[in-house]
A = this chain, B = another copy of it.
Amino acid sequence: MDAMPAVHPRPGLPTRVSVYEVGPRDGLQAEKAVVPLPVKLELINRLGEAGLEVIEATSFVSPRWIPQLADADDLMAKLERRPGVRYPVLVPNQQGFERAMAAGADELAIFVSATETFAQQNLGTTLDGAIDMAAPVVAASRARGIPVRGYVSMCFGDPWEGRVDPGRPAEVAARITELGCSTISLGDTIGVATAGQVVTVLDQVEAAGVPRNRIALHLHDTYGQALANVLAGLEAGITEFDSSAGGLGGCPYAKSATGNLATEDLIWMLDGLGIETGVDLTALVRTSRWLAGELGRPSPSRVVMALGI
């Protein structure tokens, strides 16, 4: 069996998609054990070699909150930057911003919530408080000409609140776009969304003032829906999708929130649709199998499991 599906494009879909790799940050922050820095550096290096053009490298969150990423400064200092690859980092607040700047980061991401309860449980603040905390980071970044991505979590469902009205992520996405975020990543943090809801939320976010070409989708596979939702997103004109090599990670704070969409499963579909990503699937699968060995457990990616590469 080829390590690539048969290619059958569908009319009306984008011909090129940007895959935003979150494994080294969103994936590894969910690991119970702290992954050694050399392994992280090798992972990022191999992901770049496999053709990923955007790799979220780490987070400048307080080590008290996420000890797994306490080595963020060191990681950025030792990172071998590959030409043509972007290495954004997550910053939760002004202190994180200063650390990120000192470490030489040239692209950032901030994090807010579409729901009140998740803001309180995850960020220890309110929905408004999270936006207020992000505002000076976005302003300071813009002053330096540094692009900032804005993550909005719990756009489709919330572990405490249940269903989320699509007006909620729309309002929050519009507010952080006004602050100056260049891209808005809409997160299905607990993986409950279905394909019609994706379209509804995208429509409302656009109607609230966020241009569709600045919207990315961050989908989890908790209920098996991630790739169907990617397809719905592609049909709705979205061209940026977040995923995690080997399906690493999930949200450490949300119940049942296992299952970042695996980059391999995403690439299998995009390859099959003839949508260009620049990613070499075989190299990526080899990377995830190597990392699974380092972590001591198999990758949950269906493609990694299926391909005995």
Question: Which residues of chain A have a CB within 8 Å of any CB of chain B?
Answer: 1-2, 5-10, 156-157, 159, 162-164, 190-197, 199-200, 221-225, 227-228, 230-232, 255-256, 258-259, 262, 265, 268-269, 271-274, 301-303, 306, 308
Residues from chain B with a CB closer than 8 A to the CB of A9 are 196
Nearest B residue (CB) for A262: B224
Q: Give the Cβ gap from A301 to chain B, nearest Cβ, in Å.
A: 7
Decide: A194 near B224, CB < 8 A? Known: A1-B159, A1-B162, A8-B199: no
**23 pairs from A and B in contact (CB 8 Å cutoff):** A1-B256, A2-B162, A5-B193, A5-B223, A6-B157, A6-B164, A6-B194, A8-B194, A8-B196, A10-B195, A10-B232, A194-B271, A194-B273, A195-B269, A195-B272, A222-B306, A223-B265, A223-B268, A223-B302, A225-B227, A225-B269, A225-B272, A228-B269
Task: Name the residue in A265, A269, A301 with the highest tally of chain B Cβ atoms < 10 Å from its Cβ.
Answer: A269
Q: Give the Cβ gap from A274 to chain B, nearest Cβ, in Å.
A: 7
Nearest B residue (CB) for A197: B8
Residues from chain B with a CB closer than 8 A to the CB of A223 are 5, 265, 268, 302-303, 306
Q: Give the Cβ gap from A58 to chain B, nearest Cβ, in Å.
A: 27
Nearest B residue (CB) for A165: B6
- Measured between alpha carbons, how far is A258 from B259 in the docked complex, in Å? 19
- Measured between alpha carbons, how far is A10 from B9 in the docked complex, in Å? 22
- B303-A224 in contact (CB<8A): yes
- Measured between alpha carbons, how far is A162 from B1 in the docked complex, in Å? 5
- B259-A197 in contact (CB<8A): no
Residues from chain B with a CB closer than 8 A to the CB of A228 are 227-228, 230-231, 269
Task: Name the residue in A224, A269, A272 with the highest tally of chain B Cβ atoms < 10 Å from its Cβ.
Answer: A224
In the complex, besides A6-B194, A8-B197, A224-B265, 17 extra interface pairs with C-beta distance below 8 angstroms are: A1-B157, A6-B156, A6-B163, A8-B194, A10-B199, A191-B302, A194-B268, A195-B272, A195-B273, A196-B272, A196-B273, A225-B272, A227-B227, A228-B228, A228-B230, A231-B231, A259-B302
Q: Give the Cβ gap from A204 to chain B, nearest Cβ, in Å.
A: 11
- Measured between alpha carbons, how far is A228 from B13 in the docked complex, in Å? 14
Residues from chain B with a CB closer than 8 A to the CB of A156 are 6
Decide: A2 near B163, CB < 8 A? Known: A199-B10, A306-B256: yes
